[in-house]
Chains A and B, each alone.
Chain A
Amino acid sequence: MARPILEVKGLTTTLAGGTITILEDVSFGLQPGEVLGVVGESGSGKSMLALSVMGLLPKAVRRTAGRIVLDGEDLAALSPDRWRERRGSDLAMIFQEPMTALNPVMRVGDQVAEVLRRQGIPAKKARQETINLFRKVEIPSPEQRVRGYPHELSGGMRQRVMIAIALAANPKVLIADEPTTALDVTVQAQILDLLRKLQKERGLSLVFITHDLGVIAEIADRVLVLYAGRVAEIAPVRKIFDNPQHPYTRALLASIPEIDRPRGRLVTIEGAVPSIGAMPKGCRYASRCPFRRDICEQESPRLGLVSSDQAAACVQPFGFEKPQEEALA
C-alpha cells in the first residue's frame, strides 16, 4: 500500500476538565484518492473527529493524545498558526448545516474567492475561477449567482457553494461532515452524486461522515464505524456489509430499512449509548450487546486485526462466517 495521505494515530480528546473523554484512541489511515466513510450514531464523536483533524476543536474540548499526520507531517506538533495555514490549502471541510455555514452579509462568490485570494491569485482571476468552480458544482447561471447572497439560495445550492469553497482550496484531504443530512431527500441524492462525481474526477482523498449506512454503501471505499467515541470496526466497504465483525456493525446493518425486508420488521438497536460522563470500564457497547460475556466488562477491547484489512474492537469477533440474522433476533 502507498503511504497514507492522512494518518490519525491514538487520537484522544477530552472535555477541558480532563476526566470526560469524547474520542478515545482513534486511529485510521486514508490512502490518496480513497473515500473513507465514517459512520456512527449521533453523538458518537464523528464531528469531533473531523474538527480534530482540522484543528478546529471547540474551546471546551482538548486533544490530549494522538498524532494527525498529513502527507508525512504531524499537524498536532505544529503551532496553531502553522496548522491554520494548512486549512484552506491542504485541508478543507464541508459542514452539516448549509443554512448557517455561510456569511449572510457577504456575496457567495466572494466567500469562494476569499480562499483563492489566500493562495495569491489576483482578484480578477479569482473571480473568473470562482465562476468556473460554481459551474463545476453545477450551480445554474454561475455568472449571476456569484453576486448573490446566501439568503437567496436554497439549502442544496448553499451546500454547493460550500463544496465550491472546499474545492477552491484544492485540498490534499477533504472532510465532509454529514453534508446531506440537513437537506431534502431528493436534494440529498443530488449532492451525493455531485460529491461522488467530483471525487472521481479529481481523485479526492475524502473522509465522508454520515450516520446513514445506505449513503456509505454508495460512496465509501472503506468504512470506519465509530461507537461512543471509539473505533468499533474498520474495513473495506464490502466486508462491512458482507462480513461485519463487530456486533455493533451488525446491529447497524440490521437497522437499515430495506425495501425487501418484510413490513414491520424495521430493527432498531435496543438500549442507549452510555452518556459521555458515565462510560463503562470495559467494552462501551456491552450494555446493548447480545453477545456480551463477563470479560467484556473488565477491560476495553483493543482494535485487533481480523484479517489483513479488517479490524474490530471486540473480544470475540465473528470470524469469517456469514452473519447470522437469527443471532440478532
Chain B
Amino acid sequence: MARFLAKRIAGAFVVLALVSLMSFAIIWLVPGDPTAAFLDTSATPEQVARLRHELGLDQPMIIQMLDWYGRILHGDLGHSILLNRSVTAAILERLPVTLSLAGVALTLALIAGVSAGIVAAVNHNRWPDQVVMTAALFGLSVPDFWLGIMLILLLAVKFDFFPTGGYVPISEDPLGWLDSIVMPAMTLAVIQVGFIARMTRASMLEVLNQDFIRTADAKGLTRTEIMLHHGLPNALVPVLTVAGIVAGALLGGAVIIEQVFSIPGVGRLIIGGILSRDYPVIQGGLLFLAVIYLGVNLAVDILYAAVDPRVRLE
C-alpha cells in the first residue's frame, strides 16, 4: 500500500512539473505580445522596452523559467495588473465557486449514473435497460452548453423555477446557493451521467456472469443481497477508475458552463484572462486547475486501493 501510494505521488509530481512548464511556456506559444494588453498602439518602443523590463520579459528564457518556478513554489502566481491584485488571491476567491459546481455535478453524476447503470444491468434486455441506454446515449450526445441555454430558457425564463444565472455563496444563503447551483450542475453532469451509466451497466453485467455470483446464489442469498454485497462492490471497481477522468472532465466543463450561467468561478477568470491577454491569470489559473485535477486523481487512486484489495499488492 505504501509503495503503491509512493508511486502514485511520484507520478503526480512528474505530471505537475510538466504542466507547470507548459503553463510557463504559454507566454511563448500564444501569438501576440503580453505588453499589448497594457499599452495602446501608440506606445513608443522605449515604453514597450521599459514594461518588458518590469515584467522580466527581457531576461533569458532560462532565468525567467527559474524565476517562475521559484515563485510558484512559494505559492506566488504573480500579479495581475488588470485586476490589480495577486493571481493567487483572485483564484482562491473564486475556487469555492468552481469546486462546488464541479463537486455537486460529480455527486449528481455518480448517484444518477451508477443507479441507472444498475437498473439497466439488473433488467438486462428488458424495457428499463432500453430506456436507460437510450437516455444515456442522449446524455452523451447533447452538447452541454446547448442544454444549458435550453434549460435557462425553459426553467428560468419561461417557468421561473431557477435564476437565469449568477451565484450565491453557501455561507450567505444555503438555499439560495442550492437554487443557483442546481441547474448548472445538472447541465454539467448530464454527459457524465451517460458515461457512468454505460460503464456501470457493462461492468455489472460482466460481474453478474462470474463464478462467485453463483457461489453467492448457492448460499441462498436473495437477489438484492447478491447485488449489493457481491455484484456492486465488484462492478464499482472499474467505475471508480474513471471517476478521476470524470472529475477532470467536469472541471474542464465548468469553464464553459460558468460562462453560460454567468457564474464567477475560476473558469470565468481564466477566460477573462485570455480575452484580455492577462498572462499571469492564464498561467496561474491553468496551473491551479491542473493541481486540483492531480489531487482528485490521487484521491481516487487511494479510494481505489481501499475498495480493491488486489491493487494494494502491486
- Chain A residues near B (Cβ < 8 Å): 54, 56, 84-89, 91-93, 95, 97, 100-106, 111, 114-115, 118, 149, 151, 162, 165, 169
Contact = CB atoms under 8 A, between A and B. Distances in A.
Contact of A100 (B210, B221, B308, B309): B210
Contacts of A162: 215
A101 to B, nearest CB: 5
Given A105-B309, A118-B221, A151-B309, A56 B230 contact: no
A119 B220 CA distance: 11
Interface residues of B, number: 22
B237 A95 contact: no
Given A149-B309, A151-B309, A151-B313, A100 B219 contact: no
A84 B221 CA distance: 7
A100 B220 contact: no
Given A86-B220, A151-B309, 10 more contacts: A56-B214, A87-B220, A93-B218, A95-B211, A101-B211, A102-B212, A103-B230, A105-B308, A114-B229, A151-B313
Contact of A151 (B212, B214, B310): B310
Interface of B: 210-212, 214-222, 229-230, 233-234, 237, 307-310, 313
A91 B218 CA distance: 8
B226 to A, nearest CB: 10
14 contacts: A86-B220, A88-B220, A95-B211, A103-B230, A104-B308, A111-B215, A114-B229, A115-B219, A118-B220, A118-B221, A149-B309, A165-B219, A169-B219, A169-B220
Contacts, number: 76
A105 B219 contact: no
Contacts of B218: 54, 56, 87-88, 91-93, 95
Scoring A85, A105, A114, A118 by chain B CB atoms within 10 A of each residue's CB, the highest score goes to A105
Contacts of B219: 87-88, 114-115, 118, 165, 169
Contacts of B310: 104-105, 149, 151
Given A105-B237, A151-B309, A151-B310, A89 B211 contact: no
A119 B97 CA distance: 51
B237 A85 contact: no
Contacts of B221: 88, 114, 118
Contacts of A85: 220
Contacts of B237: 105
A88 B309 CA distance: 26
A97 B220 contact: no
B313 A106 contact: no
